[in-house]
Amino acid sequence: MERTEKRRDIRSMGIKELEAAAQELGEPKFRGKQMHEWIWKHSATSFEAMTNLSNAFRQKLQEHYEFRPLTIDAQQQSTDGTVKCRFKLFDGNVVEGVLIPSTERAEDRLSDRMTACLSSQVGCSLNCSFCATGFMDLKRNLEPAEIYDQVVMLNRISQQVHGSPLTNIVFMGMGEPLLNYRNVLGAIERITAPDGLNISAKRITVSTAGIAKMIRRLGDDEVRFNLALSLHHTHDEARSKIMPINESNSLDALVDALNYFYDKTGGRITFEYILFDGLNESKEDAERLVQLCRRVPAARVNIIEYNPIDMARFQKSEQQRRERFVDYLHQHRVTAKVRRSRGKDIDAACGQLANK
């Protein structure tokens, strides 16, 4: 008889549920643990892959449950080695993820970094005026497995294209990660677990536009990953104009929340600061940024080059002004790095993701 009811996504189930499911289908409890290992340790995306389960059991699983893996819908490679992927979700929605190769100086030596930039939502509700994703409506949150799949696929591409695995993960793609809190933390739990992908939480950075309540919640949950705040302006009124979320999450409220986060986790805090022509690059802006950094323990700054998008009126800061701004930060002992934009020719750079 053909089944008509919807099959459940097997990857939405925890180990206890998998054990119970195995028993319901007449198998011993430990089969649940085996399934869990196939799903998260070996990144299986089909029941056929679970070769230590009997054919009959796999057949029964297939009748009751399904996988909803991501597939690569399109892939583009930049002249600088950046790779942008458009991922298709099981329901036809698409999101983008980016692989960014770079060389960093760390502890007096140069090391190759392979960073995966992940999406956490289909679209975004926060409408930052300089961001291509902000011009899309929010359609839905990504499931933990859909976030996890981006890591698996970008890691595979990293090995194929650049011959080395991912070293870092940033949640700076489409969506506001802290508005998909449970699923983002669920994905990170699987990405960092020894019986998952076993990637250190210290190599993961979650970037938020600034939701004070959720930053405090990260502190309460004592997360081990790093936090970045997309700051982009140090004056409340001006920041609210480019990032409407600031209207309900003032800079003072964010500073308090970041201090709370630091007290609870000791985690690294980075301010992301895109320099815009004529908007946030003056000496007064630099002074306010220094003052703000002094209010947040161990805060550092990433200066990001802006990538103009068709729908917004902003332009990037000129090199001379950018250098002056960064020099001012250095003179005042603020740790600041300039992040050169990568993948501009394929619209994969920061703020450009919009499923073109």
* 96 labelled catalytic: yes
Q: Pairing between strand 83-88 and 71-77? A: antiparallel
Q: Is 341 in the site for ligand SF4 (CB under 6 A)?
A: no
- Catalytic residue (one of 27, 96, 272, 281): 96
Q: Is 174 in the site for ligand SF4 (CB under 6 A)?
A: yes
Q: Is 126 in the site for ligand SF4 (CB under 6 A)?
A: yes
Q: How far is the CB of 95 from ligand SF4 (least distance, A)?
A: 11
- Closest to ligand SF4 by CB, 179 vs 289, is 179
Spacing of C-alpha 235 from chain mean position: 26
What's the length of the chain?
356
Q: Computed from CA positions of residues 323, 324, 327, 333, in that sequence, does the dihedral angle turn out positive or negative?
A: negative
Q: Is 124 in the site for ligand SF4 (CB under 6 A)?
A: yes
Q: What span, in angstroms and rounded, lies between the C-alpha atoms of 301 and 144?
A: 29
- Residue numbers 134-153 binding ligand SF4 by CB under 6 A: 134
Q: What span, in angstroms and rounded, lies between the C-alpha atoms of 278 and 275?
A: 9
Q: Which residues contact 87 (CB under 8 A, 6 or more apart)?
A: 70, 71, 72, 73, 94, 95, 96, 97, 119, 146, 149, 150, 153
- Closest to ligand SF4 by CB, 317 vs 352, is 352
The pair of structure tokens assigned to 298 is 């161990």
Q: Is 343 in the site for ligand SF4 (CB under 6 A)?
A: no
- Closest to ligand SF4 by CB, 86 vs 162, is 86
Q: Is 175 in the site for ligand SF4 (CB under 6 A)?
A: yes
- Residue numbers 227-286 binding ligand SF4 by CB under 6 A: 230
* 350 labelled catalytic: yes
Q: Computed from CA positions of residues 233, 293, 192, 188, in that sequence, does the dihedral angle turn out positive or negative?
A: negative
Q: Is 128 in the site for ligand SF4 (CB under 6 A)?
A: yes
Enumerate binding residues for ligand SF4 (CB under 6 A).
124, 126-128, 131, 133-134, 174-176, 209, 230
Q: What are the catalytic residues?
A: 96, 350
